[in-house]
A and B are shown apart, each in its own frame.
Chain A
Amino acid sequence: MQKEQICFTLNGETIEVYTDPTISLLRLLRDELGLTGTKEGCGEGECGACTVILDGMAVNSCLVPAGKAKNRSVLTIESLAKGDKYHPLQEAFVEKGAVQCGFCSPGMIMSAYALLQESSEPTSIEIRTAISGNLCRCSGYKQIEEAVLSAAEKLKNRGESG
């Protein structure tokens, strides 16, 4: 495929890349931009390890053609911590023991991030539904659910969202 110029906002910064627009956004991020925090567990839209936020929505980046990012905003796991200040979701994932191998964690956290943008006091079932496209083979999801609940609480107390 012909390469083309694509301009989009990545983690809050406007960038321009010259790439084949038919490759997946996941490939663009990982292989061409070196952002390997977003993981690839299947490449077929079935595991959620590649979840990023595209214009506020959690998407499987392995299914999104890079060209679709044009003029839009993409958030990846790399954007959440500000310097050495971790996002409440990241803190809660650690505190609750929600991370075992950690391979699902970036995608899981991005799905939870999208949920918390929508709803500041999610119920357990809303959390489970929001992460139902993110497979985790290690954890049984329990401590992940606890972490998202706790992060929502933290955010509320700080009067922030997301």
Chain B
Amino acid sequence: MPTETDIITGDRKTDRGFQTPEVWAKITGKAIYGIDLKLPGMLYGKILRSPHPHARIMGVDLEQARRMPGVRAALAGDELSCKPFGMVYKDELPLAIDRVRYIGDEVAAVAAIDEKIALKALEAINVDYELLPAVFDTEEAMAPGAPQLHDQHPGNLAWQRELTRGNPEAAFKTADLVVEGSFSVPQVHAAYLEPICCVADYDPYGGLTLHTAVQSPDIVRELVADVLDLPVSKVRIIGPVMGGGFGGRVYGNLKVYIISSLLAIRCGRPVRMQLTRQEEFIAGRPMIAAKIRAKLALNQDGTILARAVDLITDNGAYSAQAPWVSKTLSERNDSVYRIPNIRTTVRLVCTNKVPTGQYRAYGNQVGNFAMESLLDMAAKKLGLDPLELRLKNCVKKGEVTVHGLRINSCALSDCLQAAADEIGWHKRKPGRGYGISAAIHAGGSLVFDKNMRGASAYARLEYDGRVTLFSGEQDYGQGTHATFILIAARALGIEPDQIIIYSRDTLTSPFSIGALAMRQTTIGGKAIQLAAEKLREKIAQTAAEMLGEPVVMEGGRVRSATGKTLELSEIAADYRFQTSGLSITGEGKYVPSESAYDDTGYGNIAVAYSFAAHTAEVEVDRETGEVKIIRIVAAHDSGRILNLISARGQVYGGVTQGLGYSCQEGYLFDGGRVLNDSLADYRIPTALDVPDIMPIFIEQDDPEGPFGAKGLGEIVMVPVLGAVANAVADALGIRVTDLPITAERVYQAIVEWECEQ
């Protein structure tokens, strides 16, 4: 049985568990999610998608669909005048105009009085296609004469990067040992349980309102306004409760928001559009697939000298954030260890497949799989213990990594030691395999937008003495809001149940970049802390004026030097009368100091860095290839843990997602067609797939994060992939280098190995 005790070091009090009252709405069925929303007069929108991976559109005939009873609008791309859009490249249109580039590309859309009629109307649309040659493999796509996807990407190269730090060539020449490997990882889907849904509502006076849950509503708002050519102030996003995100819903599905808006504007009625699970798979935005060739140079004593990576990532038909994901994938792992020399090449290649997006940890986990596999290959050749090899090279507090990350707090070696001790690294059971893996993740990325690095928040004292927080940071179940309330409670010296938080409306919430880049606790939480401190100061000031003597605020009330007390409600009431109705508010703005990174991307890219080491214990059946994960120990340095109950939840959930990534998930294609486009065929872990998972938190305060805290939500899945791969290799003596490590793959590897012997 798993033990309950998470090892926590450090002397500060950790809150064992706090949740926002919203949890009661969730477990009684009262919480309103995106799919639950209905507005009066609401129409149902549906999208007609391309059945071809690459084709020219010769014509779209909407007449028959438009004439059907119950159909209120039918749209095709050529009659819209929308600007192309995209996060990195403007390579997408709401509806295709002359060309479709993957099976699932949006071609036409309808709105009807019910879903059935909308689906019938799609059948009545005639599209005349002229098929074009398509390309599905990244290497073939780069070859001369390959079909080209975008004029702006000659040779199908959507992005490339060449990077050298130090002198890798010399290091590889003089090293005692060079290990090399090729690794591959397929597209995976974030598979949030609630499909994306949006209700778009337009009126010429108020503008456009989108009722939809996204991780970055403010960014989506600006993008939608830009594409539809509306003033930003006329676009409002109101978020219902969100049924999971995990990075897959950072921008949600922009096409859905834009197309439902276009239909709502056309019809003058609200339009609801919900993706089917199949649409989620074929036209949602899975994490990019990667082929990695990597090598590592070491000295006999295990000192790492250099690392080289040649990465090819599969962009699919459109780019979204694929260049940024590719960059993180290619280099974040370099900062786990002291590696002085680096050589990296990245090619992001367009293919006629599903466009890609991002997923929790932004590619860091994929790089981890390759890097940590290589380390174990090296340890084996050098006759070193994989744990010792890692302890010898891992970064420490006070160091600056090869890419310029400034490590101001770091308990990585403690994490390695704790994860190893807990799994029984030196007391191995016979017949089992053991693997270890380490990770760093940027907590609070500063590079998303150089000008918008921080976060802001307001705290308002209500007339009844309670406090409301306004934040732009979204909570889709990861516990951010509970953590924010705890931070504010600490700063104000009041009980958490006296505080509520509101974040779901772009009209009232301060601007935020969104729930991404593991920035919420570190950056968003810091803004909350500052807002609460400001509010505390203003409350004290008002009270001091009321009493005419200096005061302190403690235990939820204010006390003067002579022992007079005031309740917060009394202070709020006085302020209201003095100001004819205003409330005392505190504004918090956290502006991290300028991140100085150069054109090569060298520099400090985040406010703080979180660390983790995971160990895996597995059993492999040599007859069938079946891998049984017995146990995962997940040791984390996320600074001080502010809310243990949700921190544990993040570890269990994130490790489970990592196990899915390692052993069972991944897109299967036939040409450009996704074969496993349902939850029956794309299998995410069930309750029976999950082993014993043991979270360990090594608490050391970070100097910058709120009350010493750092981010946790993304790094939880990073080391899983490497730890599992290494444990399987340890059990078998044979290494599987392609994810997922399924029974078939393992069996295949065993057969191949036996043939070679």
**CB of B582 within 8 A of chain A?**
no
The docked-state distance in angstroms from the alpha carbon of A40 to that of B193 is: 9
Chain A residues closer than 8 Å to B19, beta-carbon distance: 94, 97, 99
Q: Given A139-B649, A141-B656, do A94 and B24 touch, yes or no (CB 8 Å)? A: yes
Chain A residues closer than 8 Å to B29, beta-carbon distance: 35-38, 76-78, 106
**Is B28 a contact partner of A102 (Cβ separation < 8 A)?**
no
**Is A139 a contact partner of B652 (Cβ separation < 8 A)?**
yes
**Is B24 a contact partner of A86 (Cβ separation < 8 A)?**
yes
Q: Which of A46, A77, A140, A144 contacts B679 (CB 8 A)?
A: A46
- Residue-by-residue, is A101-123 near B (CB-CB < 8 Å gives 1, otherwise 0)? 11111100100000000000000
Distance in Å from the Cβ of A46 to the closest Cβ of chain B?
A: 4
Chain B residues closer than 8 Å to A86, beta-carbon distance: 24, 27-28
The docked-state distance in angstroms from the alpha carbon of A76 to that of B23 is: 18
**Is B30 a contact partner of A37 (Cβ separation < 8 A)?**
yes
Stretch in B241-249, B373-381, B743-751 touching the partner:
B241-249
**CB of B300 within 8 A of chain A?**
no
Distance in Å from the Cβ of A99 to the closest Cβ of chain B?
A: 5
**CB of A143 within 8 A of chain B?**
yes
**CB of A49 within 8 A of chain B?**
yes
- Residue-by-residue, is B650-676 near A (CB-CB < 8 Å gives 1, otherwise 0)? 011111110000000000000000000
The docked-state distance in angstroms from the alpha carbon of A143 to that of B33 is: 22
Stretch in A64-72, A126-134, A152-160 touching the partner:
A126-134
Q: Given A103-B194, A142-B2, do A131 and B687 touch, yes or no (CB 8 Å)? A: yes
**CB of A15 within 8 A of chain B?**
no
> Chain B interface secondary structure, helix, strand, loop or mixed?
loop
- Chain B contact-residue range equals 35 or more
Stretch in B75-83, B476-484, B613-621 touching the partner:
B476-484
**CB of A56 within 8 A of chain B?**
no
**CB of B688 within 8 A of chain A?**
yes
Chain A residues closer than 8 Å to B26, beta-carbon distance: 99, 102, 105
Q: Which of B1, B27, B684 contacts A90 (CB 8 A)?
A: B27
The docked-state distance in angstroms from the alpha carbon of A155 to that of B678 is: 37
**Is B244 a contact partner of A138 (Cβ separation < 8 A)?**
yes
The docked-state distance in angstroms from the alpha carbon of A37 to that of B651 is: 27
**Is B686 a contact partner of A135 (Cβ separation < 8 A)?**
yes
**CB of B690 within 8 A of chain A?**
yes
Chain B residues closer than 8 Å to A78, beta-carbon distance: 28-29
Chain A residues closer than 8 Å to B194, beta-carbon distance: 39, 41, 101, 103
Chain B residues closer than 8 Å to A103, beta-carbon distance: 33, 192-194, 243-244, 477
Chain B residues closer than 8 Å to A134, beta-carbon distance: 687
**CB of B680 within 8 A of chain A?**
yes
**Is A41 a contact partner of B277 (Cβ separation < 8 A)?**
yes
Q: Given A143-B648, A143-B652, do A102 and B31 touch, yes or no (CB 8 Å)? A: yes
The docked-state distance in angstroms from the alpha carbon of A93 to that of B17 is: 13
- Residue-by-residue, is B184-217 near A (CB-CB < 8 Å gives 1, otherwise 0)? 0000001111110000000000000000000000
B25 — nearest CB in chain A belongs to which residue?
A102
Chain A residues closer than 8 Å to B646, beta-carbon distance: 97, 100
Chain A residues closer than 8 Å to B547, beta-carbon distance: none
Q: Which of B2, B30, B476, B648 contacts A101 (CB 8 A)?
A: B476
Distance in Å from the Cβ of A144 to the closest Cβ of chain B?
A: 7
- Residue-by-residue, is A17-34 near B (CB-CB < 8 Å gives 1, otherwise 0)? 000000000000010000
Distance in Å from the Cβ of B189 to the closest Cβ of chain A?
A: 10
The docked-state distance in angstroms from the alpha carbon of A143 to that of B651 is: 11
**Is A102 a contact partner of B478 (Cβ separation < 8 A)?**
no
- Residue-by-residue, is B1-31 near A (CB-CB < 8 Å gives 1, otherwise 0)? 1100000000000000101000110111111
Number of A-B contacts (CB under 8 A): 172
**CB of B35 within 8 A of chain A?**
yes
B37 — nearest CB in chain A belongs to which residue?
A36
Q: Given A36-B32, A38-B29, do A100 and B687 touch, yes or no (CB 8 Å)? A: no
For window 673-698 of B, CB contacts with A under 8 Å fall at: 678-680, 684-688, 690, 693
Q: Which of A42, A106, A139, A140 contacts B27 (CB 8 A)?
A: A106
**CB of B591 within 8 A of chain A?**
no
**CB of A80 within 8 A of chain B?**
yes
The docked-state distance in angstroms from the alpha carbon of A92 to that of B657 is: 24
**CB of A4 within 8 A of chain B?**
no
Distance in Å from the Cβ of B657 to the closest Cβ of chain A?
A: 7
A136 — nearest CB in chain B belongs to which residue?
B193
Distance in Å from the Cβ of B178 to the closest Cβ of chain A?
A: 38
Chain B residues closer than 8 Å to A38, beta-carbon distance: 29
**Is A97 a contact partner of B645 (Cβ separation < 8 A)?**
yes
Q: Given A37-B30, A80-B28, do A137 and B688 touch, yes or no (CB 8 Å)? A: no
**Is B17 a contact partner of A97 (Cβ separation < 8 A)?**
yes
B191 — nearest CB in chain A belongs to which residue?
A137
**CB of B36 within 8 A of chain A?**
yes
The docked-state distance in angstroms from the alpha carbon of A77 to that of B25 is: 11
B656 — nearest CB in chain A belongs to which residue?
A140
**Is B192 a contact partner of A101 (Cβ separation < 8 A)?**
yes
**Is A135 a contact partner of B28 (Cβ separation < 8 A)?**
no
Chain A residues closer than 8 Å to B477, beta-carbon distance: 99-103, 138
A109 — nearest CB in chain B belongs to which residue?
B27
**CB of B276 within 8 A of chain A?**
yes
Distance in Å from the Cβ of B694 to the closest Cβ of chain A?
A: 10
The docked-state distance in angstroms from the alpha carbon of A134 to that of B192 is: 13
**Is B687 a contact partner of A39 (Cβ separation < 8 A)?**
no
Chain A residues closer than 8 Å to B32, beta-carbon distance: 36
Chain A residues closer than 8 Å to B276, beta-carbon distance: 43
Distance in Å from the Cβ of A15 to the closest Cβ of chain B?
A: 17
The docked-state distance in angstroms from the alpha carbon of A44 to that of B681 is: 12
B24 — nearest CB in chain A belongs to which residue?
A94
Distance in Å from the Cβ of A60 to the closest Cβ of chain B?
A: 12
Distance in Å from the Cβ of A148 to the closest Cβ of chain B?
A: 10
B650 — nearest CB in chain A belongs to which residue?
A100
Distance in Å from the Cβ of B631 to the closest Cβ of chain A?
A: 12
The docked-state distance in angstroms from the alpha carbon of A141 to that of B195 is: 20
B716 — nearest CB in chain A belongs to which residue?
A140
Chain A residues closer than 8 Å to B680, beta-carbon distance: 44, 46
Chain B residues closer than 8 Å to A42, beta-carbon distance: 195, 277, 678-679
The docked-state distance in angstroms from the alpha carbon of A43 to that of B197 is: 14
- Residue-by-residue, is B621-658 near A (CB-CB < 8 Å gives 1, otherwise 0)? 00000000000000000000000011011011111110
**Is A142 a contact partner of B693 (Cβ separation < 8 A)?**
yes
**Is A140 a contact partner of B690 (Cβ separation < 8 A)?**
yes
Distance in Å from the Cβ of B683 to the closest Cβ of chain A?
A: 9
Distance in Å from the Cβ of B689 to the closest Cβ of chain A?
A: 9
Chain A residues closer than 8 Å to B687, beta-carbon distance: 127-129, 131-132, 134, 136, 141, 144-145
**Is A46 a contact partner of B30 (Cβ separation < 8 A)?**
no
Chain A residues closer than 8 Å to B24, beta-carbon distance: 86, 90, 94
Q: Given A39-B243, A43-B277, do A102 and B648 touch, yes or no (CB 8 Å)? A: no
Q: Given A44-B680, A100-B649, A102-B477, do A93 and B27 touch, yes or no (CB 8 Å)? A: yes
**Is B648 a contact partner of A81 (Cβ separation < 8 A)?**
no
**CB of A54 within 8 A of chain B?**
no
Distance in Å from the Cβ of B145 to the closest Cβ of chain A?
A: 41
- Residue-by-residue, is B226-249 near A (CB-CB < 8 Å gives 1, otherwise 0)? 000000000000000111111000
Q: Which of B195, B245, B478, B655 contacts A140 (CB 8 A)?
A: B655
Chain B residues closer than 8 Å to A49, beta-carbon distance: 193
Distance in Å from the Cβ of A142 to the closest Cβ of chain B?
A: 4
Distance in Å from the Cβ of A38 to the closest Cβ of chain B?
A: 7
A-B pairs, 7 with minimum CB distance: A37-B29, A102-B26, A101-B477, A140-B652, A103-B243, A100-B477, A140-B656
Pairs across A and B, CB under 8 Å, 14 listed: A43-B277, A80-B28, A86-B27, A100-B478, A101-B194, A101-B242, A101-B243, A103-B243, A103-B244, A134-B687, A137-B653, A139-B652, A140-B690, A144-B687
Q: A101-B193, A103-B33 are in contact. List 13 more A-B contacts (CB 8 A).
A: A46-B277, A96-B645, A97-B19, A100-B244, A100-B479, A100-B646, A100-B653, A101-B476, A102-B241, A103-B193, A133-B686, A138-B193, A143-B652
List the interface of chain B (C-beta within 8 A of A): 1-2, 17, 19, 23-24, 26-33, 35-36, 190-195, 241-246, 276-277, 476-479, 645-646, 648-649, 651-657, 678-680, 684-688, 690, 693
